[in-house]
Amino acid sequence: MKSHTEYLVFNTSRRREIRNITPELERVLEKSGVREGLMLVNPMHITASVYVNDAEGGLYQDILELLEKLAPGGRPYHHHQTGEDNGDAHLKRQLLGQQVVLAVTQGRLDFGPWEQVHYAEFDGQRKKRVIVKIIGE
Amino acid sequence: MKSHTEYLVFNTSRRREIRNITPELERVLEKSGVREGLMLVNPMHITASVYVNDAEGGLYQDILELLEKLAPGGRPYHHHQTGEDNGDAHLKRQLLGQQVVLAVTQGRLDFGPWEQVHYAEFDGQRKKRVIVKIIGE
Amino acid sequence: MKSHTEYLVFNTSRRREIRNITPELERVLEKSGVREGLMLVNPMHITASVYVNDAEGGLYQDILELLEKLAPGGRPYHHHQTGEDNGDAHLKRQLLGQQVVLAVTQGRLDFGPWEQVHYAEFDGQRKKRVIVKIIGE
C-alpha cells in the first residue's frame, strides 16, 4: 500500500469565495504515483468546505446565496460570545458539505463529465490549509 | 491491497426520485472479494446524492419536501443563465449529502439495523452513473 | 494493509445532544497501530451525525438551533405514519452531515488547529453505536 499526503494553502481575497481546486488535486495525484485508490480532500479549518459540483460562476453565486439565506451572517450567534464573529461560517460549511473522498482509477480522478472539486471559503483573507491524502497502490 | 471498481447506471422514471441501492452494492461487494476495507459510493453527476438513511416511503417524501422548501425549483437561479433549468437540483444534492463511504467487515457492509444506502435523483429521466470503488483486502 | 474496527457506544442523557468524541477516536487509533491511512467514523443509527467542527458550547447551541429552524420537531412528518415521532431527527442528521473520513499521518489524526470530531444525537436516551474503521499501514 502506498500513501501520499500534501497540504494545499489558500488565501482568498474575499471573505467568502468559491474556487475550483481540481487542477491542484490532479497534480498531487500525479506526484503520488497511485493508480488505484482513494483520495481524501479535507479542509483543515472549520469555516470552509470542500465539495464537488459544476465549475460554473452562476452556480457559485446560487450556492453562496442559498447558504446566506439558510445561515445568515451578521446575526448574534451564541458562538460570538467567545469574541468571534464567524458563527455563520461554521454553519455554512456544515450545510454545504465538509469534505470529499474521490476515486482514483488507472492513475486519474474517476469523475463524471461535470464533476469538479471546489474549495468554499466562508471566513477567508488569511492562510488556510486543505489536506490531500491518497492511499492505494 | 485489492481494489474493485464498478459503475451503476440509473434512469429514473420521475425527475425527482429516491431509490434504495443497497442490494446492488451488496452484489458489487460480493464480486470484489474484499473482506476488510472501505467502499466509496459517489454519484458521477452533480444533480444527485448518495446518502444513508431509513428505507421508508414516508421519509422519502419528507426528504423531498424539505429540500423543496430549502432550495425550491422553478426559481430564476443564476445558473439558469447558462440555459439550464436545474439550479435547484445542484443545490438539493449539496444539502442532502454528496456521497458516502461504507465500512466493509468480514465481507459484509458493516451497518446498523436501519442503515440503507439510497440514490436520490433531482434531475432524472436520463442515464446517470454512480461509481462504487472498494479498497481493502 | 492493516485494518482495525471498533464500535463506540453512546447513550445521551438528553434527546438532542452534541458530544466531542475526539479523545475516544485517538484511543482507537493508538490501539490500531496504523501510521498512515484513513479512518471512517460513521453513526450506525440514522438519527445521528458525526461531523468535524469547533469544540465550543455556543456553536453547539447554534447548530442545534439552526437545525431546529430548518427541520423542526413536532411536525406531522409523513414518516410518523409508521408510528415513529422522530422524522425531524432523520432530516437533521442529513443537513449536518452523516459521517466523516479522517486522515491518519505518522500515527496521529492529521488535523488543523480547531478540528474536533463530534457525535450529534437527535433521538437519544438509548444506546447508539458509531463504527470506527481504520485502514492503512
Closest of C126, C137, C94, C136 to residue C10, by C-alpha: C126
Distance CA B16, CA B120 (A): 7
pLDDT at B20: 98
Burial level of A13, CB count in 10 A (0-12/13-18/19+)? Answer: exposed
Q: What is the DSSP code (8-state) at residue C134? A: E
The neighbour count for residue C23, using CB atoms within 10 Å, is: 9
Q: Number of CB pairs < 8 Å for B and C? A: 94
Cβ–Cβ under 8 Å, residues B15 and B57: no
Which amino acid, one-letter code, is at A4?
H
B103 vs C38: CB contact, 8 Å cut-off?
Answer: no
- Classified as helix, coil or strand, B19 is strand
What does the pLDDT look like over B23-33, one tens digit per residue?
A: 999 999 999 99
Q: What was the pLDDT predicted at C50? A: 98
Alpha helices in chain B (DSSP H): 22-32, 57-70, 87-96
Identify all chain B residues contacting C71, using CB atoms and an 8 Å cutoff.
Answer: 66
**Of C38, C44, C97, Cβ closest to residue B97:** C97
Average pLDDT taken over every residue of chain A: 98
Interface mutation vs chain B, best among C34, C79, C101, C130, most B CBs within 10 Å: C79
Query: Helix or strand or coil: residue B125?
Result: coil
C98 to A4, B20, C125: CA distances (angstroms): 26, 17, 20
Distance between CA A111 and CA A26 in Å, rounded? 12
Any chain C CB within 8 A of the CB of B91? no
CB-count burial class (<10 Å; 0-12, 13-18, 19+) for B128: buried
Q: What is the pLDDT of residue C135?
A: 98
- Give pLDDT tens digits for C72-104: 999 999 999 999 999 999 999 999 999 999 999
Most distant CA pair in chain A: distance in Å? 50
Q: What is the pLDDT of residue A91?
A: 98
Neighbours of A56 (CB within 10 A): 20
Query: What is the rounded distance in angstroms from the CA atom of residue B128 to the CA atom of residue B135?
Result: 23
Q: Could you say which residues of chain B have pLDDT below 50? A: none
Q: How far apart are CA A104 and CA A37, in angstroms?
A: 5
Q: Which of A61, A85, A84, A62 is nearest to A73 (CA)?
A: A85
- Distance in angstroms (rounded) separating the CA atoms of residues C114 and B22: 35
Q: Name the architecture of domain A2-72+85-136.
A: Sandwich (2.60)
Report the half-sphere exposure of A56 (CA within 13 A, side-chain side). 21
pLDDT score for C119: 98
Q: What is the ipTM of this complex?
A: 0.97
Helix axis angle, A87-96 to C87-96, nearest 10°: 100
pLDDT for C134: 98
State the best of A59, A60, A91, A105 to mutate against chain B, taking most chain B CBs within 10 Å.
Answer: A59
Q: Which amino acid is at B16?
A: R
**Confidence (pTM):** 0.98
* Count of other CB atoms within 10 angstroms of residue B84: 17
Q: Does A36 touch chain B (CB under 8 A)?
A: yes
Using N-to-C axis directions, what is the helix angle for A57-70 and B87-96, rounded to 10°?
50
CA atoms within 13 A on the CB side of B44: 18
Residues of chain A with pLDDT under 50: none
Distance in angstroms (rounded) separating the CA atoms of residues C98 and B103: 14
Which pLDDT value is given to residue A94?
98
The beta-carbon neighbor of B44 closest among A56, A96, A112 is A112
pLDDT digits (tens, 9 = 90+) for A44-82: 999 999 999 999 999 999 999 999 999 999 999 999 999
In this structure, are residues A128 and A44 in contact, taking their beta carbons and an 8 Å threshold? yes
Task: Provide the pLDDT for residue B22.
Answer: 98
d(CA C77, CA C63): 21
- pLDDT tens digit sequence for C53-76: 999 999 999 999 999 999 999 999
Instruction: Tell me the three cell numbers of residue B49.
Output: 446524492
